[in-house]
Homo-oligomer: A and B are copies of this chain.
Amino acid sequence: MSGQLQIDGPGLLARIQALGRIGALAGGGVCRLALSEEDRRGRDQLVAWMRELELEVSIDRIGNIVGTLAGRRDLAPVMMGSHIDTVATGGLYDGALGVLAGLEVVAALRRAGITPERPVQVAAFTNEEGSRFAPDMMGSLVYQGDLPLEAALDTVGIDGTSVRANLERIGYAGPAPVGVGRPHAYLELHVEQGPVLEHEGLEVGAVTGVQGICWTEFTVSGVSNHAGTTPMRLRHDAGAVFVEIARFVRTLTQRYGAGQLGTVGHCRLHPNLVNVIPAEAIFTVDLRNTDKLALDGAEAELLAFAAEAAAQEGVEITHRSLARFDPVAFAPALVDLVERKAQGLGRSVRRLPSGAGHDAQIMARLCPAAMIFVPSVGGLSHNPAEYTKDADLITGAQILLEALFDLSAA
Contacts and interface: CB of A to CB of B under 8 A. Distances in A.
Interface of A: 192-196, 199, 211, 213, 215, 217, 225-234, 237, 239-240, 243-244, 246-247, 250, 253-254, 258, 260-269, 271-278, 284, 286, 288, 322, 354-357, 379, 381-382
Contacts of A213: 228
Contacts of A217: 274
A266 B273 contact: yes
A247 B250 contact: no
A373 to B, nearest CB: 10
Given A239-B246, A246-B239, A286-B274, A263 B227 contact: yes
Contact of A265 (B239, B258, B355): B239
A195 B276 CA distance: 14
A231 B265 contact: no
A275 B265 contact: yes
Nearest to A193: B229
Contacts of A265: 227, 239, 269, 271-278
B288 A227 contact: yes
Q: Tell me which of A192, A230, A250, A322 has the highest count of chain B C-beta atoms within 10 A of its own C-beta.
A: A230
Contact of A227 (B196, B277, B286): B286
A24 to B, nearest CB: 23
Closest 7 CB pairs of A and B: A194-B229, A228-B355, A229-B355, A227-B263, A274-B284, A243-B246, A227-B286
B266 A269 contact: yes
Nearest to A272: B266
A232 to B, nearest CB: 5
Contacts of A271: 265
Given A226-B381, A230-B355, 8 more contacts: A194-B226, A195-B231, A230-B261, A232-B253, A239-B267, A266-B272, A274-B286, A275-B286
> What copy number does this chain have within its complex?
2
B266 A228 contact: no
Contacts of A226: 193-194, 355-356, 379, 381-382
Q: Tell me which of A240, A274, A381 has the highest count of chain B C-beta atoms within 10 A of its own C-beta.
A: A274
A239 to B, nearest CB: 6
Contacts of A243: 243, 246-247, 250, 264
16 contacts: A194-B228, A195-B230, A196-B229, A196-B234, A215-B275, A226-B382, A228-B288, A228-B356, A229-B355, A232-B262, A239-B267, A240-B246, A243-B247, A243-B250, A266-B272, A267-B267
Contacts of A322: 274
A276 B266 CA distance: 8
Contact of A264 (B240, B247, B260): B240
A192 B229 contact: yes
